[in-house]
Amino acid sequence: MNDIAPHLRIVLVETTHAGNIGAVARAMKNMGLRNLWLVNPRSFPSEEAVARASGALDVLDSAIVVSTLDEALADCALVMGTSARGRKVPWPVMNPREAAPQVLAMAGQGQVALVFGRESNGLSNEELQRCHYHIHIPTNPDYSSLNLAMAVQVISYELRMLTLAQQDAEQAPLLSPDSSGWDVPPATVEQLEGFLQHLEQVLVEVGFHRQDNPRQLMTRLRRLFQRTRLDQMEVNILRGILTAVRGRK
Ligand code: SAH
């Protein structure tokens, strides 16, 4: 799996509380992110940030401080702005889970910026219009604004979940009798048909399947067994059970 961290930056615009910068560094490191850009922070470096970073000092120490948003975005191929509320000019907006595939796809090819606003009034309309897309965490509409570091946490968690899911899919493709690596060959059409006929006979014999009132029973059972992608051993086991049921009478 590709490590997206080198291609992804968290950009904080004019953060007022240094403690939030520390908490963001911690949230980022927890989720495997490293690149923190600070646009015109009120106070940085600061002891408060170090205290709240709780060991994520490498992220704080390597933070890049710039004076304009332009500088933080110049080399980026994709810019995602974040907003707690709708703005005057509607913009393509998605939730963090929807945004994650786009972010990960682009992070394989170029730099991606996730931009977060001021604690007091978020990002300006002009700043938001610099972003290709907006991400909104679907909070309670009557109380929609998260703490800055918590917003970073939620979005970077979604990125991590998708990264891990992709990693799992690469390492352990879902096994089924249809895929290579299964221990027994898949049942053929002929074998499944043989089983279904056998099943029908036994169901008639035990009085469960009444041919004068079939109720689509065999259609439903066919759908069930076709859906499960039986292998040859499983068909043999099922037929063995049917034979044993017959032998009891
Ligand atoms: N009062 C501000 C919110 C500031 S919260 C406003 O109304 O815009 C600080 C930052 O946290 C926001 O700029 C945004 O980057 C992020 N944030 C907070 N809540 C969010 C949410 N529900 N969805 C996306 N980002 C959010």
Q: Write the DSSP assignment of 160-192 as a string of letters.
A: HHHHHHHHHHHHSPPP-TTSTT-SSPBPPHHHH
pLDDT of residue 2: 63
Specify the CATH number for the domain of residue 83: 3.40.1280.10
What's this model's pTM, rounded to 2 decimal places?
0.76
Check whether residue 29 and residue 150 sit in a common domain.
yes
Residue 79 lies in a domain: yes
Residue 179 lies in a domain: no
CA of 95 to the centre of ligand 1 (A): 13
Number of folded domains that form the chain: 2
Residue 131 lies in a domain: yes
Six token digits for residue 14: 């004019």
The whole-number mean pLDDT for each consecutive block of 10 residues of the chain, a chain of 249 residues, reads 86 98 98 98 97 96 98 96 85 96 91 97 96 96 97 98 90 74 87 94 92 87 88 94 87
Check whether residue 143 and residue 193 sit in a common domain.
no
CA of 148 to the centre of ligand 1 (A): 6
Ligand 1 pocket mutation pick from 118, 131, 145, 152 by most atoms within 8 angstroms of CB: 145
Q: Are 50 and 22 in contact (CB under 8 A)?
A: yes
CA of 42 to the centre of ligand 1 (A): 18
Q: How far is CA 136 from the centre of its chain?
A: 16
Q: Are 42 and 16 in contact (CB under 8 A)?
A: yes
pLDDT of residue 181: 79
Name the residue at shortest CA distance from atom 20 of ligand 1: 84
Which helix or strand (DSSP H or E) is residue 112 part of?
strand 111-116
Query: Domain range for residue 196?
Result: 189-247
Residue 91 lies in a domain: yes
Check whether residue 138 and residue 28 sit in a common domain.
yes
pLDDT of residue 1: 46
Residues within a 6 A CB radius of ligand 1: 82-85, 116-117, 119, 121-123, 135-137, 139, 144-146, 148, 151
Q: Of all atoms in ligand 1, which is nearest to the CA of residue 139?
A: 22
- Among residues 100, 133, 168, which one ends one of the domains? 168
- Among residues 117, 138, 168, which one ends one of the domains? 168
Q: Are 126 and 167 in contact (CB under 8 A)?
A: no
Check whether residue 21 and residue 118 sit in a common domain.
yes
Check whether residue 9 and residue 102 sit in a common domain.
yes
Residue 102 lies in a domain: yes
CA of 139 to the centre of ligand 1 (A): 10
CA of 47 to the centre of ligand 1 (A): 24
Specify the CATH number for the domain of residue 242: 1.10.8.590
Ligand 1 pocket mutation pick from 24, 83, 147 by most atoms within 8 angstroms of CB: 83
Q: Is the dihedral of CA 199, 201, 204, 205 positive or negative?
A: negative
Six token digits for residue 171: 């390492």
CA of 232 to the centre of ligand 1 (A): 57
Six token digits for residue 181: 């690596």
Six token digits for residue 226: 């076709």
pLDDT of residue 211: 82
- Among residues 102, 133, 168, which one ends one of the domains? 168
Check whether residue 158 and residue 97 sit in a common domain.
yes
